[in-house]
Structure 1
């Protein structure tokens, strides 16, 4: 009897403990913005540790606070190395002493690999330095800095008018992404370096009116030293004006330090050429390359060049996917790369020394419902990477080679996620109206009960050729949406990479055609489920996804009860007249609107123009517009809101005057998410 009572007591206690340990919180906007965000990482020369950066957000200061951490490559306790506000970038780790040289607060600093013995090497603050690299031999330093080349501002053109605010513009491209051109260009500088001392700097671009890195999103990957420290390679689009606005033809340029000479390595290659990388022995150069000028979403291939012979080989020519990033193996026999494949980003390898023209030498290493988002480097038979899924932000993992087994190393957000209920994420296959198979992700509320009915959101991805994989967004966060009680369906409609090159290409020139039908197929398919409330369907999206929302608002035939469009294209004519990267509009829309003989373009401006369907709008819509968005400029959101208001449709405008195509400021982001869910509660 006593044993039975004792056993019951123990079982009851155990059950209480188990229950208490179960995650009970749901994701909120505030919790989401407390998460740490992985920045970049580097393996120490002894291959024992990874030093990496993590940013957390200070809501009071409305900005990020990055710091450096260390974790053993075999797993173990994480150590925080720095604890000061302000961005930090690792420049070099000494192979003999293990001392870490890094950039912080406009100066060069050094510390031991455990964060001890901190020393400031440079006294003078250099706030205008960016994209800094120290040469492999430690004798040179490279950085970028803006240089005034042209006089665009009135005060620069007329010395007696110092308060003039006018811009004098005679050609394209007069603004880009979120910045107006002031006549300054980002140039690569090279200088002598001696333990923190910088001297004898030289502009290796010799005053040219071109930018390195590429604007708006280029970075440190655009400029590298050769392994012998004798040369600098940089990526640049050496075009100006209208040619610049209509071309994606970036080139790789090689600057020889001893002779002060520059030559292009990619002549005759007409698309994007990016991410140059030398093999460890310096005998090969590899980079990513697209063929077609003006097609920013073309297939990205790995090109490798033998330095001695000059022979170039396309390692992935026959492979039916596009590469995101890559790195050489330690012995230079393989290249490891990341590519989207069947709705996830995975790790692959390709043989360098014996490439197969038909693609048989490409091997998939990892498989699973996650994204491999970056490659940090290799230690022995382990490849160190970062990984996300729709329930987890990026963490560091080791990948066993060649098997692909993965082991988690970092603990950036473990404390938060241990308390959070996660969402079930299912892969769903849907037949499209033209009889093809389309993958869609379905994300369920964390406490999903199939006997209940749930409001459901159709998520429309932007790009239009951006991957809809297992990414973890800090704004369009599926975990957050599901936690508010919504089922989310996110289809890999026409135009998504990861399903073959042809599927990816099919959206160009057909924005309002089959891709919109794919969206309708997705919502109709999920609406068949008994747990979906067919009277409470919503549709949300940004950029091309915002365009899709505007388009669907005119053709949905009563399916949806509410819409949310962020920075969407509403009127294609006015958009063509104000957007900046015209190569994108020329490729995807078909060209300008005044050439009546261009039937492809005329089809877009008539049949696929959302503003032409406003007479059929009859559903509440919330419109979000960034004031500094020059990709999809302000008139797009304002026109859509004004049309909805004049049509008498319940509508709301969220105007973010100091945000671009994205929402980057933390407090604006919290506001964005609060308004997003308030609108859904009110209308759905």
Structure 2
């Protein structure tokens, strides 16, 4: 039975309806969404299906993947699994439950699909036939598991479980069971959006045989107060079985407290299953070393590596190790860009990876015999993952005009085909703005790429308000990304020309361009922003009297800084989770390596230009309405930064608004909060740039 659900009392805002499978235990999707307008709204944005994990079958013939749909009225998301032939064909939905299946994978023999589910009451490993039938629980580990990986010979299972090693206040004082407090003696007591919970991610290995239920395994990190995968975002990409199943490599930063907070020195550790011995494969390599991948024959290992300790935005290199000699080689020494997601070719001596070059993420191949690196794809798109299936590649692709989809790329012809078509039905009903690449001269004579996104149904004879987009990171790319918040098409749909510069400090234009921003907050990159907005505002279709500037994180810093240094260019500002006071940022953030590197040390030792560029020092020059947004669980840039900025504006009687989310972190993740964010974002700009 089906019923029509009108979104969010919300019918007027959405102008659309959706169909839902109305079964007590069923899932939810928006595949039948019918729009009444061709202009995107926040509700439509949140109704797109979101691609999650993608896994290729061992024989390269089939792809399994997850898709998440949002039920806005329930403020809840549902994830189900799908399969599609690698060369394209019928898409099959193989789960339809309320349990949000995660981390789809394959038996090494390709006979079953594996996944995590909380169906039993905690997150456990399950298996099923390729058509979704014969669903069966495989683990029943106390407290649940968070990730898994089968050994190639299918005789062992590696899984991740949180292990409690530290004492709470109630452990220390058992006669005070109702005491609610924390006692901290060192740094890194909280990370990203959660306080340290006294547990550590440990890697366990258990015997596996079909038909048995796994309840426990061997903790190969027993007693160690370290995490593998690394918190907060690491997954099983940081762990790899050797093809002979005799060893396993894991990523770990084996430091604690203050040392942990100031360092990015993670290493790769090889654990021998038979002897129980652990070897540090990357000892002496001081930056991030992570994401190991064995060659098909097990003779080589590749991984992603950074050189400098403490520099989290260092060049990401592709390293190779000969497992017999332990000799290491940088395969990308002559390649002046970052690499990500490397995979081996199944047959040829190639390694495939993705890299940001000129503000687009493209697929590259390195020939191990010649060392030559070739860019395989072109176009206005971001490929964020690549898998090799013999004569084709399976890749995840997104763009400013499309959410992530799975593409099959024929290596002979170069043809790329969308084989998942998750959002084709909705996109076909929308008119999106054109995206244009512009090049602007900077104040020091450099050429800077600027994305310009036009409103739907753009009329060049009219004048439009425009918004300058300021990127965060500060060294995250302004590429062809798709976002639920900083969505350029959503901004353009509100009737704005969007100006998105690839200012100094962004990847894709070489190491020198990317690294210039470290130690130069408030410097050349701010001049780059003004160069972009000044050049574009001369266009006859932009009203230079109606300009706004928006941004998050370092983009929020940028907005706060511009608010005191813009010489009347802008009529409205929006800063999300931005740095307002650099002194306070240094001593209240959690990952000390970030601020220590970029600020060139603490303010009491180095009162340098980084601190003299702090936006709060220019607050006396503020004169423009500003919307400040912050989440209480943002521990990267604590919410008091946003409070201080808002208070500074109102103390000076400057029109301001503070949008505060008690349950959100550096991002806004829940559906109705996300829609509220978009409404307030557009409403503030409309108030000051349109009314």
Out of 458, 461, 478, the position equivalent to 2:468 is 458
After TM superposition, give the deviation of residue 364 of structure 1 in Å: 0.5
**Preserved contact between residue 433 and residue 518 of structure 1 (Cα < 8 Å):** yes
Aligned residues: CA RMSD: 1.7
What does 1:163-174 align with in structure 2 at a 5 Å threshold?
163-174=178-189
After TM superposition, give the deviation of residue 72 of structure 1 in Å: 1.4
After TM superposition, give the deviation of residue 402 of structure 1 in Å: 5.5
Q: 1-side partners of 2:640 and 2:55: how far apart?
A: 43
Post-superposition CA distance 1:406-426 (Å, at most 9, x none): 122111001100100021000
Q: 2-side partners of 1:666 and 1:126: how far apart?
A: 31
What does 1:403-442 align with in structure 2 at a 5 Å threshold?
404-442=414-452
Q: 2-side partners of 1:332 and 1:572: how far apart?
A: 50
**Preserved contact between residue 279 and residue 332 of structure 1 (Cα < 8 Å):** no
After TM superposition, give the deviation of residue 144 of structure 1 in Å: 1.4
Q: 2:609 maps to what in 1?
A: 603
Aligned to 1:118, what secondary structure does the other structure show?
coil
Q: 1-side partners of 2:110 and 2:629: how far apart?
A: 52
**Preserved contact between residue 192 and residue 199 of structure 1 (Cα < 8 Å):** no
Cα distance, 1:352–1:668 mapped onto 2, change above 3 Å? same
Out of 89, 100, 118, the position equivalent to 1:87 is 100
Q: 2-side partners of 1:95 and 1:496: how far apart?
A: 39
Out of 48, 51, 67, the position equivalent to 1:35 is 48
Q: 1:660 maps to what in 2?
A: 665
Q: Would you say 1:177 and 2:182 are equivalent positions?
A: no
Cα distance, 1:673–1:126 mapped onto 2, change above 3 Å? farther
Post-superposition CA distance 1:539-580 (Å, at most 9, x none): 000000000000000000000000000000000011111011
Q: Would you say 1:614 and 2:619 are equivalent positions?
A: yes
Q: 2:632 maps to what in 1?
A: 627
Q: 1-side partners of 2:626 and 2:110: how far apart?
A: 60
Out of 74, 81, 85, the position equivalent to 1:61 is 74
Q: Would you say 1:157 and 2:167 are equivalent positions?
A: no
**Preserved contact between residue 129 and residue 135 of structure 2 (Cα < 8 Å):** no
**Preserved contact between residue 127 and residue 138 of structure 2 (Cα < 8 Å):** no
Post-superposition CA distance 1:256-278 (Å, at most 9, x none): 11111111100110000011000
Aligned to 1:198, what secondary structure does the other structure show?
coil
Superposition TM-score, scaled by structure 1 size: 0.93
**Preserved contact between residue 23 and residue 420 of structure 1 (Cα < 8 Å):** no
Q: 1:336 maps to what in 2?
A: 352
Out of 487, 493, 503, the position equivalent to 1:477 is 487
What does 1:352-371 align with in structure 2 at a 5 Å threshold?
352-355=368-371, 361-371=372-382
Cα distance, 1:183–1:434 mapped onto 2, change above 3 Å? same
Cα distance, 1:230–1:123 mapped onto 2, change above 3 Å? closer
**Preserved contact between residue 109 and residue 118 of structure 1 (Cα < 8 Å):** no
Superposition TM-score, scaled by structure 2 size: 0.92
Unmatched runs of 5 consecutive residues or more in structure 1: 1-20, 356-360
After TM superposition, give the deviation of residue 200 of structure 1 in Å: 5.0
Post-superposition CA distance 1:438-490 (Å, at most 9, x none): 00000000110000000100000000000110011111101111011110000
Between stretches 28-37 and 306-315, larger displacement belongs to 306-315
After TM superposition, give the deviation of residue 123 of structure 1 in Å: 7.6
Q: 1:384 maps to what in 2?
A: 394
After TM superposition, give the deviation of residue 223 of structure 1 in Å: 1.6
Q: 2-side partners of 1:511 and 1:657: how far apart?
A: 29
What does 1:250-649 align with in structure 2 at a 5 Å threshold?
250-331=266-347, 333-355=349-371, 361-375=372-386, 377-401=387-411, 404-595=414-605, 598=606, 601-606=607-612, 608-649=613-654
**Preserved contact between residue 58 and residue 106 of structure 2 (Cα < 8 Å):** yes
Q: 1:11 maps to what in 2?
A: none
Out of 679, 684, 691, the position equivalent to 1:679 is 684
**Preserved contact between residue 135 and residue 225 of structure 1 (Cα < 8 Å):** yes
Q: Would you say 1:215 and 2:231 are equivalent positions?
A: yes
Cα distance, 1:202–1:533 mapped onto 2, change above 3 Å? same
After TM superposition, give the deviation of residue 217 of structure 1 in Å: 1.4
- Aligned pair count reads 651
Q: 1:15 maps to what in 2?
A: none
Between stretches 533-542 and 141-150, larger displacement belongs to 141-150
After TM superposition, give the deviation of residue 103 of structure 1 in Å: 2.4
**Preserved contact between residue 457 and residue 537 of structure 1 (Cα < 8 Å):** yes
Post-superposition CA distance 1:235-285 (Å, at most 9, x none): 111111111111100000111111111111001100000110001111110
Q: 2:246 maps to what in 1?
A: 230
Between stretches 82-91 and 667-676, larger displacement belongs to 82-91
**Preserved contact between residue 229 and residue 236 of structure 2 (Cα < 8 Å):** yes
Cα distance, 1:249–1:78 mapped onto 2, change above 3 Å? same
Q: 1-side partners of 2:443 and 2:399: how far apart?
A: 30
Aligned to 2:208, what secondary structure does the other structure show?
strand
**Preserved contact between residue 454 and residue 492 of structure 2 (Cα < 8 Å):** yes
**Preserved contact between residue 251 and residue 269 of structure 2 (Cα < 8 Å):** yes
Unmatched runs of 5 consecutive residues or more in structure 2: 1-33
Q: 1:193 maps to what in 2?
A: 208
Q: Would you say 1:246 and 2:262 are equivalent positions?
A: yes
**Preserved contact between residue 44 and residue 98 of structure 1 (Cα < 8 Å):** no
Q: 2-side partners of 1:325 and 1:124: how far apart?
A: 31
Post-superposition CA distance 1:613-665 (Å, at most 9, x none): 00100000000011011110011001001100101000000111111111111
